[in-house]
Amino acid sequence: MPYYPAELDSDDEGSIEYDWDNDSQPDLDDDYMARTMGHLRLGGSTSGVPGTPPPRYSSVPTPPPGYAAGSLDFVTCGLTCNEKLCKDGPSDTTMCTYCHRRPKVQGKDQCGQTCADKAKISCLLCKVRPKNGSYHFCGKTCKGIATKSTPLILEIAKGHTSYDMVENKFKSGWKGSSTQPTIAKIFKIIESEEFLKPYDAYRKRVGPKENYLYHGTKRQCQLGVSTTNLCTSPSCAICNILKTSFKVEIANPWGCFGQGIYTSSASNK
């Protein structure tokens, strides 16, 4: 299994126009996974390793005839359990969040330095495979699962390359004299195709250059605190922005320059 170097992340994984034409991990494509996920190897042995905890989801303990031992290493037995892992997380929270085979080191999320290093460049959805280069996901399977329920809010673990990238941009973009606030959490928003198609069309017309801008808003729910589910309140600004994207006609009319969408390249504004 190849591991990709830590790079600045890209939002292209949700794009239509700039989709993954060169997905370098074809073993995660749906048709391939459907054929191979049953050929599961756990613990580096076809018969299991004494003292190694079982996987947190269903598995095939003995590979079927014709399986080349050591060629594959999946955490789940198939697409159904893979999607369950992505949506619900592991059933045993005491196990390493990357390999799901060994207990966490006390006070850490992984079982050791090897898994800790791999977790820094892991897929933001399944968290058990390296993300595909500058994309946020490991392949088209996780991308497909993520885009089933948009808008989707994914918390990024501290120490992940995506977290570090956003944190560094926020800190370098702080232009005020006041003390920088401490970042509590960082989330990745997976948008719907309805929002991305016009965005891609505009980007194609004006060129691929994109700027990082900041928009401050309010919320009336616990989004980002105790839940990643959007609320149904018509007056919760953040949840409605995530549902409808930015629309001038429903923007707050009491801004300094009237009704509009206010953004800034400075993170303190």
Q: Please write the tens of the pLDDT for every residue from 112-160.
A: 999 999 999 999 999 999 999 989 999 999 999 999 989 999 999 999 9
Nearest to 188 by CA among 236, 140, 131: 131
Range 156-177 average pLDDT: 94
Q: Given the structure tokens 């309140």, which residue do they identify?
A: 233
pLDDT tier for residue 236 given thresholds of 50, 70 and 90: very high
Distance CA 104, CA 112 (A): 8
Per-residue pLDDT tens digits for 75-121: 888 888 889 888 888 889 999 999 999 999 999 999 999 999 999 99
